[in-house]
Amino acid sequence: MPVIRARGLEKRYGTLVAVDRVAFEVRPGECFGFLGPNGAGKTTTMKMIYCVLEPSAGELTVLGMDVRREARRIKARLGVVTQDNTLDSALSVRENLVIFGRYFDLPWTQARRRADELLEFVALAERHRDKVEHLSGGMRRRLMIARALMAQPDLLILDEPTTGLDPQARQLTWEKLRQLKRMGVTQVLTTHYMDEAAALCDRIVIMDHGRIVAEGAPADLIREHVGREVVELRGLDGAPARQALGTLLARDDGGAERHEAHGDLVLVYTADGEALLHRIREAALPIESALLRRATLEDVFLKLTGRMLRE
């Protein structure tokens, strides 16, 4: 049985359709990611999963229970890490965990023991007496993850878990999430970091304008929508130069699939970048620079959702 199952799921606010008839499933033990521009419907979908918002239409079950009828039972089995810091600044690091455990009816002795275990797990044991306000941003995010794990949830919800963290804090947080996955904890996350999604998620969906526009494993999506490699050409100005590139690509047998222009930058998606660069050099195209790199999930994201800034 899937941990989460959605069919025809909608959320409307008057005439605004925030989530538009989406369908997906989350399997036990996997890390499942939601990607999309601001306003795409990711967080709204997440809030319906952890029963803060009620769907306007469609079917949504979490842990085999209907979110409309059994929201309280679902919440008792979830751990949620929201975007915003919701730690209690009046309490110490350890007290934040112990008091939260009491909300789930953990006996005091068990709550204290569980808190100590989790502080070791997230590398905060030495800071257990500190007030939250004295912690760095990375420490606070790790403490929120520890708090979400106090009741040993069957499903962990992570809404942009590493936003604003420095590289060291992000890497440590990733390692803790990987450890949880190896322990069998099912995770659902949203993120704006494409490298984070590629590093953590077994499968992802990309949302845009409330709909799912792609779904699959990160490597499969890259292969399907972009290809293996990208050649970045800069300084290819003028219609004749662009036309010469188009002619070269039209007869290219090195695996070039398509190209797109953004100002003075041209991106060519190809299966064999070295062969393409050789042809470009032979054709003596008037370019300032050429860069060959591996295709990434960010290329897929921008291809499917566009490059226009979303507010």
SS (H, E, C) the chain: CCCEEEEEEEEEECCEEEEEEEEEEECCCCEEEEECCCCCCHHHHHHHHCCCCCCCEEEEEECCEECCCCHHHHHCCEEEECCCCCCCCCCEHHHHHHHHHHHCCCCHHHHHHHHHHHHHHCCCHHHCCCEHHHCCHHHHHHHHHHHHCCCCCCEEEEECCCCCCCHHHHHHHHHHHHHHHHCCCEEEEECCCHHHHHHHCCEEEEEECCEEEEEECHHHHHHHHCCCEEEEEECCCCHHHHHHHHHHHHCCCCCEEEEEEECCEEEEEECCHHHHHHHHHHHCCCCCEEEEEECCHHHHHHHHHCCCCCC
Whether residue 276 sits in one domain with residue 127: no
Domain count for the chain, please give it.
2
Instruction: Indicate whether 198 belongs to any domain.
Output: yes
Whether residue 137 sits in one domain with residue 50: yes
Whether residue 209 sits in one domain with residue 252: no
Whether residue 201 sits in one domain with residue 73: yes
Whether residue 237 sits in one domain with residue 213: no
CA–CA distance, 80 with 155 (Å, rounded to integer)? 9
Whether residue 248 sits in one domain with residue 173: no
Instruction: Indicate whether 8 belongs to any domain.
Output: yes
Residue 121, domain extent: 4-217
Per-residue pLDDT of the chain (311 residues; tens, 9 = 90+): 899 999 999 999 999 999 999 999 999 999 999 999 988 999 999 999 999 999 999 999 999 999 999 999 999 999 999 988 899 998 999 999 999 999 999 999 999 999 999 999 999 999 999 999 999 988 999 999 999 999 999 999 999 988 888 888 889 889 999 999 999 999 999 998 999 999 999 999 999 999 999 999 999 999 998 888 998 888 876 667 677 777 777 765 555 567 787 777 888 888 888 888 888 888 887 888 889 999 999 999 988 988 665 55
Whether residue 185 sits in one domain with residue 51: yes
